[in-house]
Amino acid sequence: MPVRFFKALLLLAALVATPAHALTVEVEAPDEIKALLTQHLETARAARSGEKPDAEEVARLQRQSELTARDLLATEGYFSPRVDSTVARTGDDWRLVYRVDPGARTRVRSVKLAFGGALKTRPDAASLRGRVERGFTLKQGMPFRQADWEAAKLAVLRPLLAGAYPAAQIESSEARIDPAAQAADLTLTVDSGPAFFYGQPAISGSQRYPESIIRNLNPVKPGKPVRQQDLLDYQMALESSGYYAQATVHIEPDPVLAAAVPLRVEVVERPQKLFSVGAGVSTDTGARVQASWLDRDILDRGMRLKLDARLETMRQTGAAELAWPRTTKGYEHSLGVQLKQEDIKGQETRSTVLAAKRGRTRGQIESTLSLQYQTEQQSIADVLDVRNQALVANYAWTKRTVGRAFYPRRGYVLSLQGGGAAEALLSDTDFVRLYGRHTQYFRAGSSGRLILRGEFGSVLADTRDGIPTDFLFRAGGDNSVRGYAYQSLGRTLTGGVASVRYLATGSVEYNYFFNRDWGMALFVDAGDAADNPGALSPVFGYGTGVRYRSPVGPVNLDLAYGEATAKFRLHFSLGVSF
């Protein structure tokens, strides 16, 4: 008889002698711990996997699960539990029942927090020590859980690591449990290490562009205490400068280097030259195609020359701009020229603009001081045909607290402008121009947002004659008063709508997002443009729309009803760059 036959007989005999049966497990415990035990007990896991253990294996799993239950309860603050289990055969199956009485939960009786390193000795660190102590999340009288204890220790380190103590660590920690009193006495010692101060940047990856660009973008000076936010700001400034596709800024938390720790800056440079084209469509200015050419290193000094051409149904522009890298004080300078031709609501203009600008970005605030000379030929049918010129000094200030989200749900954007021209300085008339726009975003439930917008502009002058249209106002369109054609609200003449000296618009909009990409909108817009404040007579637009977060940017599609015109109007915009 073959050997394999004898082996098969022996295996069959073993299976008959130790039959295997299905396993079910029940846990009788308070709801707050029942789910934890059901998920992690070895017997419960075996039951979920469909195992069919024999009697010996069931006994082993039963004993191991009792030990596991006690360990799990200890992590939740129950150090004196009663855990009983019974096993029974039900037909051909095993049935295990655990009865768990967790007992009284252990609570925090005392907390002792001590400091070592520079945080203990520096006289200017008292406020930080107090903030760390107040921020310790496990307070006297709170339930003691192992997860909360670990989280509290991490929370103690967080403000130190984000500030001048990147080498901070937990020196020692102890949770002493008194089972009789159901009490926990916590002791924690934090070694902050030395305080770190900035040294000079150590740059790698810079080959094509001058290193001075990287150094000038540094927001900190040597000797200043290290702060994690400074490193993030520096990295963001590098990536948004236009010279670098990727940037990383970090320090090595080596206590030996603490007095002047180098900022290690690693960059990946963008190509020196770039040609790009794009296309889009908007119900304001129609279809659009554009092309631009950029050289980022003119004269080997990091100067950027950009040539840009844009053709739209209602507007055509060509521009050239020469921009210098940011200076050590954070300023960016540029010179530019623009040729523009447009025909919007019957007002035709052809203009030439020469501009010199000085801009600065500090945190959430952008400011620009500009000097702009503009000549313009303006006509409206047979009613108006004039030439205007002005040399305008202007200051613009913008604060953004909305981050980079396509559809922000909190924060605001505030823009203020002020400028003017004098007849004695290459201008046809004296005027002062003031403009402000504020957009506020509020959360509205878990998936909604509320947007409030207000806009006001005025030109203080004896007459509008001689003022180029870029410094006057009209209303209507996608970002103004929906339900009305782009720039259709102004001074109505035979054959067109002319720009005026005063503007006031406002909007209330509610958005609800069904998921990450798609949402809807309900809105009410109002506004007008006129030649004096008393003539402002707001018209209203009401509507609904769709919001889509596309891979290339936000897409807004709105259908609005203009009360003054008793007509519906579609507002839509989409742009793609290649």
> What confidence tens digit (pLDDT) does each residue in 482-516 have?
999 999 999 999 999 999 999 999 999 999 999 99
Predicted confidence at residue 576, as pLDDT, reads 44
- Euclidean distance between the first and the last CA atom of the chain, given in angstroms as a whole number: 79
pLDDT digits (tens, 9 = 90+) for 270-329: 999 999 999 888 889 889 999 999 999 999 999 999 999 999 999 999 999 999 999 988
Contact 36, 72 (CB under 8 A): yes
**pLDDT of 11 higher than 80:** no
SS3 content of the chain, % helix, strand, coil (to 5): 20, 50, 30
Residue closest to 220 by CA, chosen among 234, 206, 210: 234
Contact 361, 344 (CB under 8 A): no
What does the alpha-carbon distance between residue 549 and residue 529 come to, in Å, rounded to a whole number?
A: 32
Coil/strand/helix, residue 11 = helix
Of 113 and 14, the one with more pLDDT: 113
Contact 386, 350 (CB under 8 A): no
- Provide the percentage of residues in the chain whose pLDDT is more than 70: 96
Predicted confidence at residue 402, as pLDDT, reads 92
Q: Which residue has the tokens 């209203």?
A: 540
Q: Which residue has the tokens 């520079």?
A: 118
What does the alpha-carbon distance between residue 81 and residue 77 come to, in Å, rounded to a whole number?
A: 10
Contact 70, 81 (CB under 8 A): yes
- Phi and psi angles of residue 476, each rounded to the nearest 5 degrees, phi first: 110, 140
Contact 262, 251 (CB under 8 A): yes
Beta partners for residue 442, in sequence order = 450
Q: In this structure, what DSSP letter does residue 406 have?
A: S
What is the model's pTM?
0.76
**Strands of the sheet with 183-191, listed across from one edge:** 107-116, 183-191, 169-178
Cα angle 341, 345, 351; round to 5: 20
| Token duo for residue 239 | 């990536």
What does the alpha-carbon distance between residue 337 and residue 309 come to, in Å, rounded to a whole number?
A: 12
Predicted confidence at residue 2, as pLDDT, reads 46
Mean pLDDT of 533-538: 96
What does the alpha-carbon distance between residue 159 and residue 226 come to, in Å, rounded to a whole number?
A: 12
What does the alpha-carbon distance between residue 422 and residue 192 come to, in Å, rounded to a whole number?
A: 61
Contact 356, 371 (CB under 8 A): yes
Strands of 345-424, DSSP E = 347-362, 365-380, 384-400, 411-421
Q: Which residue has the tokens 């006129």?
A: 530
Q: pLDDT tier at 4 (50, 70, 90 boundaries)?
A: very low
